[in-house]
Structure 1
Amino acid sequence: MPHTDTPPSGHATDLALLLTLSTLWGASYTFIRIGVETIPPLTFIAARTLIAATLLLLWMRSRNVRMPRDRRVWMRFGVQALLNSVVPFTLIAWAERSVGASLATILNSTSPVMVFVATAFITRHEPVSLRKLIGVIAGFVGTCLVIGPSALDGLGGQLVPQLAIVAATACYAGAAIYGRSFKGLHPAAPATGSLLVGALVLTPASLLVDHPWALQPSVRSLMALVALAAFSTALAFAIYFRLIQTLGAIGTTAQAYLRVPIGVAIGVVFLGESLPSSAWIGLASVVVGVAAMSMPGSAIQVRRV
């Protein structure tokens, strides 16, 4: 029998998956920065989506999980592909050639703010509470404190690439909200379907623009590509669509905050980087924010106009 329904939700399991997702996506910035050293951004992202989609498709077949055949569902996969992979992946890969990783992380961490505003005043697809609003604000302030105010020194210096990251973040916010429309499907189905559509769009563009057969990528860049595709894309997308159904759009985007201290910790342990003096206060603020955004239960509702 094919799997079609969403796995049962448990808060402890959801938090563990949220932490895993934050780690996988937190590492993606490093993988991208290494990958685009010798692989053009368009080809790098095309290969990322193609490899990840293939891995997920093979996993689904091994587990006898079938892809839907409804044309309308595949059209929705196409919209999700544009919002969650084709446009933001390409914009971030291009922007990271000139924008520092810390500033890119701060700009990309605004997705919970965008999701909250869109949910409160436009889509209204899930309850918006005062608790969640406090969580959104606390998480963003904590993100800035963990990385340190100095990361904002370059703000505006590379305006176009920075705006590209903001645009990518807006796409992710839209994807988190739109991802709710796949309720009832196995989480791997929209993950695989959207990546397949993304690969079908990006691969021909890569062939026309970059002529990848003439490239000479380094082993370092190729290893980063494989790690990004297998772990930070295929596995991460499967977790992401699962959490969209259990934590909701606002709760799932909490990973945008949580991946910041994780990324900083990786830098401290493996690269010998030092923490700014504000980091510990920021870390506490991030934890409070993530907890407020992802905890179940009702709270005072934000008044909608």
Structure 2
Amino acid sequence: MLIALSVLWGGSFFFVGVAVREVPPLSLVLARVGIAALALWVMLALTGMRMPRQPGLWAAFLGMGLLNNALPFALIVWGQQHIASGLAAILNATTPLFTVLVAHLLTADERLTPAKAAGVVMGLLGVAVMLGAELLGGLGAGLAAQLACLGAALSYAFAGVFGRRFRRMGVPPLASAAGQVTASSLILLPLALLVDQPWALAMPGPASWAALLGLGLLSTALAYVLYFRILAVAGATNLLLVTFLVPVSAIWLGALVLGERLEARHFAGMALIGAGLALIDGRLLRRR
């Protein structure tokens, strides 16, 4: 499931790259979560599943939508206007590091261990090697943008720990995903209307609409069903290891679909990431 999620989120870079040519960032993010919300509510209806009605559930959805979509999406979009996307990806890959620390402080069953710490460091090193040392050339410039991307990673970490409550509340992954993207849509709607004024924009072309549908249905709706399923069975720390795998998926998709060439550093970085994931997972060490 983690690999599938990384492919869905790795593919989102392609969809965003197509749609952002004609759709402003906030409107793009709103379309992404809005399309996903509609699709997930249809799925709830088709499967006969009812949204649970526990007290405070929608307050939890709003908190999750803010931490996991609205805030980090806005920070990353703003940050990528000032720094290279590769550097933004490296900064985003700090999410598991923040998650290990946040989970250690706020949970009783996801404590920090030496193996987890070593695995996170190895994974970060793998991402840096895979994306190329030249991408670090901008480190130090655009400090505010880099802090924004780190803030987004920290927000994802808190979201992973915050989202554990949906399992305790008995909310199925499909309902959790529908509630989160619906809440995100409600948060982002006034911002997009205020900033982008979409009624004054030209109508996007067919390619942009296709990209928005792929982004909403595959990289958001289906992805968040997997997200909440992994969170329920494996915990926040294991879930957010996906940010190590997303660059791997994006590079493989580029090689398979766009014919881009894989270099030795890509394989070296992937090997380091794999070793880091194994250390954090811990099962291989226990068997040894």
Same fold (TM over 0.5): yes
Assess, with a 3 A threshold, how the Cα gap between structure 1 residues 70 and 297 changes in structure 2: closer, same or farther.
farther
- State whether residues 84 and 172 of structure 1, in contact with CA within 8 Å, keep that contact through their aligned partners in structure 2: yes
Residue 29 of structure 1 pairs with residue 16 of structure 2? no
Residue 206 of structure 1 pairs with residue 210 of structure 2? no
Deviation, 1:179, is: 0.9
SS of corresponding position for 1:66: coil
Q: Distance in 2 between matches of 1:203 and 1:65?
A: 26
Q: Distance in 2 between matches of 1:123 and 1:188?
A: 24
Amino acid at match of 2:173: P
Q: Distance in 2 between matches of 1:115 and 1:92?
A: 18
Residue 232 of structure 1 pairs with residue 216 of structure 2? no
Deviation, 1:154, is: 1.9
* 1:37-76 paired onto structure 2 within 5 Å: 37-76=21-60
Give unpaired runs (5+ residues) of structure 1. Answer: 1-16, 300-305
Partner of 2:93: 109
Deviation, 1:127, is: 3.7
* 1:1-305 paired onto structure 2 within 5 Å: 17-183=1-167, 184-216=170-202, 217-294=204-281
Amino acid at match of 2:103: T
- State whether residues 29 and 101 of structure 1, in contact with CA within 8 Å, keep that contact through their aligned partners in structure 2: no
Deviation, 1:271, is: 3.3
Give unpaired runs (5+ residues) of structure 2. Answer: none
- State whether residues 27 and 232 of structure 1, in contact with CA within 8 Å, keep that contact through their aligned partners in structure 2: yes
Deviation, 1:210, is: 1.8
Q: Distance in 1 between matches of 2:10 and 2:190?
A: 29
After TM superposition, the runs of 4+ consecutive aligned structure 1 residues lying more than 6 A away are none
Deviation, 1:295, is: 5.2
- State whether residues 52 and 195 of structure 1, in contact with CA within 8 Å, keep that contact through their aligned partners in structure 2: yes
SS of corresponding position for 2:56: helix
- State whether residues 13 and 250 of structure 2, in contact with CA within 8 Å, keep that contact through their aligned partners in structure 1: no
Assess, with a 3 A threshold, how the Cα gap between structure 1 residues 226 and 63 changes in structure 2: closer, same or farther.
same
Amino acid at match of 2:248: P
Give deviations 1:55-101, integer Å, cap 9, x for gaps: 01111111111112224111111100100111112222333344323
Structure with a larger share of its residues in helix: 2
Amino acid at match of 2:34: L
Q: Distance in 2 between matches of 1:46 and 1:207?
A: 10
- State whether residues 115 and 282 of structure 2, in contact with CA within 8 Å, keep that contact through their aligned partners in structure 1: no
Q: TM-score, normalised by structure 2?
A: 0.90
Deviation, 1:297, is: 8.7
Deviation, 1:241, is: 0.5
Deviation, 1:136, is: 1.3
Identity of aligned residues (%): 36
- 116-125 or 67-76, larger mean C-alpha shift: 116-125
Amino acid at match of 1:179: G
Q: Distance in 1 between matches of 2:285 and 2:230?
A: 19
SS of corresponding position for 1:175: helix
Give deviations 1:35-74, integer Å, cap 9, x for gaps: 2222111111111111101101111111111112224111
Amino acid at match of 1:204: P
- State whether residues 254 and 294 of structure 1, in contact with CA within 8 Å, keep that contact through their aligned partners in structure 2: no
Equivalenced residue count is: 283
Assess, with a 3 A threshold, how the Cα gap between structure 1 residues 243 and 174 changes in structure 2: closer, same or farther.
same
Q: Distance in 1 between matches of 2:158 and 2:8?
A: 20
- 165-174 or 213-222, larger mean C-alpha shift: 213-222
Q: TM-score, normalised by structure 1?
A: 0.86
Q: Distance in 2 between matches of 1:291 and 1:259?
A: 17
Deviation, 1:296, is: 5.2
